[in-house]
């Protein structure tokens, strides 16, 4: 249910959030809760409306990626949705002259084994609606990309929700066609339309996801994208960079050989994390092995 050519720019204390939008008039309050972005109010406007998503506490702006989405295809709807969102980000990055968090999104619908985007004509729209009223569930798949231009970090994620309807009359289909809003929506269905709402049987997931803006997953992406850049990585040497475990066991057994004792896995577990003197005391407490018994592991 994504109107793919709408984006909003929202500055934060150390940069700007570039927000990819969706065409719905529901108001969502998304508390981001980070040092840079403490609260974001997202107002989603329908594609036919001139209003845009607004962030009351912050400056806002919109951009168009101007890409040919039809040229981006994939076998799996999840792959195609995410590929389109990434292509939007790639197209917009050269246009940005300041530090921003660029958020690009796309949505497709999977139903009856096929991928559905916006219906291209009335015939296709009626075919989509007919399948829904016959009980075919529609899965709304959202691809989300957040790119931090200050650090170069790009975070991607997928989110989906499923909706199923009871059988609805021809009058509902005719009403939706006349209103025309379904031609701007992936899958050709306006979930929140008042004539269709009474026939909604179940929703697996969240309505904001169905409407194209999964707020909680987006909040998590914003947090991850704003995290400080990684400058150093610390690796543990023993057992990770070098295979020292086997050499350690051999060395311990060589020491205990002098006292006819065996370095067992039980002893090794007790010694882990202990200081040298504590480990030595544990070794000394071991009973000696019979002279005719092998002490090697």
* Residue 72: partners with Cβ closer than 8 Å, 6 or more residues away: 80, 83, 84, 87
Output the furthest CA–CA distance in the chain (Å, rounded): 96
- Under DSSP, is residue 195 helix (H, G, I), strand (E, B) or coil? coil
On the CB side of 80, CA atoms within 13 Å amount to 20
> C-alpha distances in angstroms, 85 versus 54, 119, 133?
21, 19, 30
Catalytic-residue membership of 106: yes
Q: Return d(Cα 70, Cα 60) in angstroms, integer.
A: 29
Q: List CB contacts of 273: < 8 A, sequence separation 6 or more.
A: none
Interatomic CA distance for residues 214 and 115, integer angstroms: 20
DSSP 286: S
Q: Which DSSP category does 118 fall into?
A: S
Closest CA to 78 of 115, 132, 120, 128: 115
Q: Which of 68, 79, 106, 266 is catalytic?
A: 106
Nearest to 103 by CA among 189, 201, 212: 212
Phi, psi of 142 (to 5 degrees): -110, 125
Q: Answer whether 221's CB lies under 8 Å from 155's CB.
A: yes
Tokens of 26: 């529901």
Active site residues: 106
């Amino acid at each position: 249910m994504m109107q793919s050519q709408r984006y909003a720019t929202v500055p934060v204390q150390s940069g700007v959030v570039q927000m990819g939008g969706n065409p719905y008039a529901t108001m969502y309050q998304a508390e981001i809760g980070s040092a840079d972005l403490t609260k974001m109010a997202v107002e989603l406007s329908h594609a036919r409306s001139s209003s845009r998503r607004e962030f009351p506490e912050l400056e806002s702006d919109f951009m168009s990626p101007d890409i040919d989405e039809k040229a981006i295809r994939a076998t799996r709807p999840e792959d195609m949705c995410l590929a389109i969102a990434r292509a939007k980000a790639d197209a917009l990055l050269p246009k940005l002259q300041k530090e921003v968090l660029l958020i690009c999104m796309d949505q497709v619908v999977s139903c009856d084994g096929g991928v559905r985007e916006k219906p291209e004509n009335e015939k296709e729209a009626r075919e989509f609606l007919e399948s829904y009223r016959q009980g075919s569930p529609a899965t709304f798949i959202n691809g989300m990309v957040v790119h931090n231009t200050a650090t170069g970090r790009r975070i991607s994620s997928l989110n989906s929700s499923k909706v199923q309807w009871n059988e609805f009359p021809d009058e509902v289909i005719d009403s939706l066609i006349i209103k025309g809003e379904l031609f701007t929506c992936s899958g050709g269905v306006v979930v929140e339309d008042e004539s269709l709402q009474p026939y909604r049987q179940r929703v697996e997931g969240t309505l904001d996801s169905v409407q194209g803006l999964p707020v909680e997953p987006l909040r998590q992406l914003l947090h991850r994208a704003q995290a400080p850049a990684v400058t150093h990585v610390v690796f543990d040497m023993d057992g990770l960079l070098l295979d020292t475990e086997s050499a350690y066991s051999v060395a311990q057994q060589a020491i205990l050989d002098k006292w006819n004792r065996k370095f067992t896995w039980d002893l090794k577990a007790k010694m882990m994390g202990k200081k040298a003197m504590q480990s030595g005391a544990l070794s000394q407490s071991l009973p000696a092995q019979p002279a005719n018994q092998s002490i090697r592991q």
